[in-house]
């Protein structure tokens, strides 16, 4: 089967792609309403805002969910710094490290979440802190000899109980979104 694409078009596109070494990637956030009152936050890293918006809108609408106005879903979540630590850590030591680092906000220790957040097996503990203090906490953990990585995440203020059908429909939407090249991850407030 022939695609009938002229050789000069192919050569020109290869040349353009190989010359383009700098891309301006932006972090974008989209919000959507899922089934059963669930809120979805779609985190995107893209070099093309228009393509990312169109792809997210299409994926959301084709699964029966609805795109939300900015802020209409996010108020149900708190932005937190999330540090994945590759060593066992107890709450007392985490608090001591936070105090020594000068963290004044709330520090919380959690178990890894391999199913929800996809934490690898190497992650033994998770520390949540305020977004402004994530750098200080990471430096304190690393100074104590603990390997860790950090990110900003949206933690639900409250979880929404949904039926099995609504849960399945919401995961169809999440799966479709996560198949997009520009989507980094999708956060939700479903009680699992």
pLDDT for residue 56: 97
What's the whole-model pTM score? 0.79
- The predicted-structure confidence for 172-183, as pLDDT tens digits, reads as follows 999 999 999 999
CA 107 – CA 126 distance, rounded (Å): 10
Q: What percent of the chain has pLDDT over 90?
A: 73
Q: Which residues are CB-contacts of 89 (< 8 A; sequence separation ≥ 6)?
A: 109, 124, 125, 127, 146
What confidence category does residue 9 fall into, taking pLDDT thresholds of 50, 70 and 90? low
Which has the higher per-residue pLDDT, 35 or 12? Answer: 35
- The predicted-structure confidence for 49-84, as pLDDT tens digits, reads as follows 999 999 999 999 999 999 999 999 999 999 999 999
Look at phi and psi of residue 102 and say left if phi exceeds 0, alpha if psi is from -120 to 50, else beta. Answer: left
Take residue 53 and report the two structure tokens written for it: 């918006």
CA 190 – CA 186 distance, rounded (Å): 12
Q: Are 76 and 156 in contact (CB under 8 A)?
A: yes
CA 64 – CA 21 distance, rounded (Å): 38
Take residue 186 and report the two structure tokens written for it: 């999708």
Q: By C-alpha distance, which of 184, 182, 189, 134 is closest to 166?
A: 189
Mean pLDDT confidence for 116-120: 78
Mean pLDDT confidence for 39-47: 94
pLDDT for residue 116: 72
């Amino acid at each position: 089967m022939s695609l009938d694409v002229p050789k000069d078009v192919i050569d020109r596109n290869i040349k353009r792609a190989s010359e383009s070494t700098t891309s301006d990637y932006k972090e974008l956030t989209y919000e959507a309403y899922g089934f059963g009152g669930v809120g979805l936050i779609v985190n995107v890293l893209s070099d093309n805002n228009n393509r990312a918006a169109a792809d997210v809108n299409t994926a959301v609408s084709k699964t029966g969910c609805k795109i939300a106005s900015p802020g209409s879903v996010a108020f149900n979540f708190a932005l937190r710094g999330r540090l994945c630590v590759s060593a066992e850590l107890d709450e007392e030591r985490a608090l001591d490290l936070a105090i020594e680092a000068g963290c004044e906000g709330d520090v919380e220790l959690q178990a890894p979440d391999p199913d929800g957040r996809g934490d690898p097996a190497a992650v033994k503990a998770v520390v949540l802190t305020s977004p402004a203090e994530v750098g200080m906490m990471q430096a304190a953990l690393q100074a104590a000899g603990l390997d860790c990585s950090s990110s900003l995440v949206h933690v639900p203020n409250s979880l929404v109980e949904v039926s099995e059908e609504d849960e399945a429909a919401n995961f169809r939407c999440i799966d479709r979104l996560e198949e997009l090249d520009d989507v980094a991850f999708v956060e939700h407030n479903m009680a699992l």
